[in-house]
């Protein structure tokens, strides 16, 4: 299978030369920016209605992070930021060393975040074959984000499938010139830079990101012998974004590549052999125009291509010596490749009816394909999957086997939304979307929202919405896998959600208190069939919870933000914590800033083989993770940052997907880094 290591290594140094050659001295000093609470209430929120709302008026449970807020946090990646959102939590899993998965409101049934839709500058970035945003973009850099909107609850009335229990809307940084270098423990090396210029009438933005480290040292149980082994999780990443804008025309190109070795791969250990490589290419074209009175329209065409190559052991050395022909003591090796692409065309309209009302409507056409699903194996993969003995050994050259049906699926969706100010203090949102899938039932997803400004301090939101998630090509078409196989008879899963949110906004205090209830119909779950697993639509279930978000200006230079979530979850959500929380304490004065943050996840369960002394589950302890960041802004646009993650070196583990990962999947320990950034 192909390797992206050489292309990313070359790209790292090319990026460095290009960015340095384009540098210039800053004309002005950069002062530290921090929004007041009153200003934060006016930050635009666009992902919920496709129009500009504020936190107080948006008909959704939403948390917003501005660039100024992100700058003062000791976090590097999107999944870390999500730990500061009520109802969201993360898991590290045993898919590979890059794999971090997040969930919204306790809903996650696989190793991927299938239930959350990721938008970047309005473009859907979920993997076209597996449906997850955390596979193609496992470690999305927080430094790329200008504004982050995290919407809790259903979003299918606008976005269709996968906007199931949440929508993450990222608006990237533009019109910026900066360069940053960082070095830290485990030989972390990071380079990133942004450049903007106007060329022949086009506003041009470029962003480059490169990262490498040697990984954490772990002692893990060997997947085949059970004996402890020493391993690590080295990582590499390289990303490039280019954007060209002229008037109402936008062109975007992006590339993201990542690689990890050793650790776990597809839940098995194999030091020196395990390898995971992935590449994502994305292109989009947008054109805005006006063709009806008081109507702003846009057409957009995007193409996305994703590939995932990996190597792993399916059995250990000697496991097939008596079951193979000719007899071999070699481990069962697999060198697999998965790939998919998607085309997406959208036509959207925003009609300003009058001063009190507007309507948004449009259509979307998509087509997803699984373009590659095969594995080169040294033993017969079909015979292993079906338990046929003896299993043919093909030697070092091996044989190629299909591991997916390489099918395609199209969809046409149409939506309409009506926004109306019923009176000065009351705002109505009413809408819905119908999706017509090939070979699957059609689905209509309605939405209703009422936002009432009770007085100058309090506001109340009553929300109802339905969402669905279509089974992915990976869930229906996975074949010849001895651990997990697909189910072509799957149908949509559906969620129906009620939200009631009370918000209070004082001069120095913002408070949001919300309760929700989810009712799931035909939920897609992974079930065990002997030692293997498969997907199936299961009986309905429900969950409910409480979400609190509180921000407080403590004094002139001090601020506090804290969140708390409690959820009553069904038995199928045993891998999710029922209680989560976070806090941030920040001190800012003139040119320097200090931040301390922590997030908490309560006890969870990981599956193990059932015995007389257990119920097939092992409890994993809850944990607090503490990070801190100190930064100082020098003259001429320079900034020095000192960052310490996992201050107490907490031994934190998250649940496994398969059986007998005793102790769960370990997270990284304490990490230290120093960074120098230059804004010019």
Rounded Cα distance, 375 and 310, in Å: 9
Nearest to 46 by CA among 200, 223, 167, 204: 167
pLDDT in tens, 591-610: 999 999 999 999 999 988 88
pLDDT at 21: 37
DSSP state letter for 39: H
- CA 123, 124, 129, 134 dihedral sign is positive
Token pair for 332:
């069962």
H helices of 78-198, in order, are 78-82, 156-159
Nearest to 263 by CA among 536, 603, 665: 665
Percent of the chain that is helix, strand, coil (3-state, to 5)? 10, 55, 35
Rounded Cα distance, 93 and 110, in Å: 10
Token pair for 437:
């899938």
Rounded Cα distance, 635 and 35, in Å: 22
> Given 2.40.170.20, 2.60.120.10, 3.40.50.970, 3.40.50.300, which CATH number is that of 5-679?
2.40.170.20
SS3 323: coil
Task: Encode burial over 595-606: b for 16+ CB neighbours within 10 A, e otherwise.
Answer: bbbbbbbbebbb
pLDDT in tens, 554-570: 988 999 999 999 999 99
Rg (alpha carbons) of the chain, rounded to whole number:
25
Rounded Cα distance, 409 and 414, in Å: 17
C-alpha distances in Å from residue 611, one per residue of 296, 532, 574, 614: 63, 18, 18, 5
Q: What is the mean pLDDT of the chain?
A: 92
User: How many alpha carbons fall within 13 Å on the CB side of residue 304?
Assistant: 25
pLDDT in tens, 7-54: 444 443 333 334 333 333 333 333 333 566 777 778 999 999 999 999
What integer is the mean pLDDT of 57-83?
94
Token pair for 137:
């973009």
pLDDT in tens, 512-529: 999 999 999 999 998 877
Rounded Cα distance, 517 and 522, in Å: 17
pLDDT in tens, 152-204: 999 999 999 999 999 999 999 999 999 999 999 999 999 999 999 999 999 99
Angle at 94 between CA 601 and CA 3, to 5 degrees: 130
DSSP state letter for 45: B
Q: How many residues does the chain have?
A: 680
Nearest to 47 by CA among 150, 153, 124, 146: 150
Rounded Cα distance, 410 and 396, in Å: 40
- Contact between 268 and 314 under an 8 Å Cβ cutoff? The reply is yes
H helices of 441-599, in order, are 473-477
Rounded Cα distance, 63 and 370, in Å: 34
Peptide bond into 326 cis (omega under 30): yes
Rounded Cα distance, 514 and 462, in Å: 10
pLDDT in tens, 207-265: 999 999 999 999 999 999 999 999 999 999 999 999 999 999 999 999 999 999 999 99
Rounded Cα distance, 208 and 8, in Å: 11
The strand pairing partners of 362, in sequence order, are 348, 415
Q: How far is CA 531 from the centre of its chain?
A: 29
SS3 68: helix
Query: Does the structure show a pLDDT above 90 at 111?
Result: no
């Amino acid at each position: 299978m192909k390797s992206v290591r050489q292309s990313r290594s070359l790209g790292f140094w090319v990026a460095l030369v290009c960015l340095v050659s384009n540098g210039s001295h800053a004309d002005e000093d950069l002062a530290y920016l921090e929004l007041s609470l009153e200003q934060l209430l006016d930050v635009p929120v666009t992902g919920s209605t496709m129009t500009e709302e504020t936190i107080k008026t948006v008909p959704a449970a939403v948390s917003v992070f501005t660039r100024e807020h992100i700058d003062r946090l000791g976090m590097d990646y999107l999944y870390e930021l999500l730990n500061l959102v009520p109802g969201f939590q993360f898991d590290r899993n045993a898919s590979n060393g890059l794999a971090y998965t997040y969930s919204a409101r306790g809903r996650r049934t696989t190793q991927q975040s299938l239930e959350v839709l990721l938008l970047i500058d309005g473009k859907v970035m979920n993997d076209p074959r597996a449906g997850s945003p955390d596979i193609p973009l496992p470690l999305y850099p927080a430094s790329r984000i200008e504004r982050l909107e995290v919407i809790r609850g259903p979003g299918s009335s606008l976005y269709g499938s996968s906007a199931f229990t949440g929508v993450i809307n990222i608006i990237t940084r533009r019109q910026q010139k900066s360069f940053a270098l960082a070095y830290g423990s485990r030989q972390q090396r990071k380079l990133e830079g942004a450049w903007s210029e106007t060329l022949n009438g086009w506003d041009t933005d470029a962003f480059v990101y490169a990262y490498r480290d040697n990984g954490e040292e772990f002692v893990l149980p060997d997947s085949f012998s059970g004996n402890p082994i020493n391993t690590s999780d080295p990582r590499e990443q390289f990303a490039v974004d280019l954007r060209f804008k002229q008037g109402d025309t936008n062109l975007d190109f992006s590339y993201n590549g990542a690689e990890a070795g050793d650790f776990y791969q597809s839940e098995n250990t194999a030091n020196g052999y395990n390898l995971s490589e992935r590449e994502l290419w994305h292109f989009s074209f947008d054109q805005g125009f006006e063709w009806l009175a008081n109507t702003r329209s846009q057409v957009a065409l995007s193409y996305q291509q994703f590939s995932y190559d990996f190597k792993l052991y399916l059995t250990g050395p000697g496991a097939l010596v008596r079951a193979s022909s000719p007899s071999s003591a070699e481990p069962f090796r697999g060198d697999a490749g998965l790939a998919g692409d998607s085309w997406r065309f959208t036509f959207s309209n925003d009609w300003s009816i009058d001063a009190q009302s507007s309507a948004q409507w449009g259509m979307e056409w998509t087509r997803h394909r699984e373009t590659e699903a095969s594995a080169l194996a040294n033993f017969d993969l079909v015979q292993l999957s079906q338990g046929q003995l003896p299993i043919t050994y093909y030697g070092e050259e091996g044989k190629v086997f299909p591991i997916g049906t390489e099918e395609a699926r199209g969809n046409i969706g149409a939506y309409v939304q009506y926004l109306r100010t019923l009176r000065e203090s009351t705002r109505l949102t009413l809408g819905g979307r119908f999706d017509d899938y090939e070979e699957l039932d059609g689905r209509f997803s309605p939405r209703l929202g009422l936002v009432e400004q009770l007085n100058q301090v309090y506001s109340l939101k009553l929300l109802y919405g339905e969402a669905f998630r279509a089974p992915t090509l990976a869930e229906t078409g996975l074949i010849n896998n001895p651990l997990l196989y697909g189910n072509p008879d799957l149908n949509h899963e559906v969620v129906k959600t009620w939200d009631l949110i009370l918000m209070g906004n004082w001069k120095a205090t913002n408070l949001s208190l919300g309760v929700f209830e989810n009712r799931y119909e035909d939920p897609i779950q992974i079930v065990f069939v002997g030692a293997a697993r498969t997907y199936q639509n299961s009986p309905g279930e429900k969950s409910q919870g409480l979400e609190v978000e509180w921000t407080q200006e403590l004094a002139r230079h001090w601020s506090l933000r804290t969140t708390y979530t409690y959820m009553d979850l069904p038995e199928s959500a045993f891998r999710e914590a029922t209680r989560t929380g976070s806090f941030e304490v920040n001190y800012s004065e003139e040119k320097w800033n200090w931040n301390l943050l922590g997030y908490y996840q309560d006890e969870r369960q990981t599956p193990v083989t059932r015995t007389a002394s257990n119920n097939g589950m092992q409890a994993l302890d809850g944990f607090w993770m503490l990070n801190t960041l100190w930064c100082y802004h020098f003259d001429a646009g320079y900034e020095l940052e000192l960052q310490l993650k996992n201050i107490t070196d907490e031994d934190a583990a998250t649940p496994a997907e398969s059986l007998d990962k005793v102790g769960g999947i370990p997270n990284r320990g304490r990490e230290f880094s120093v960074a120098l950034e230059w804004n010019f």
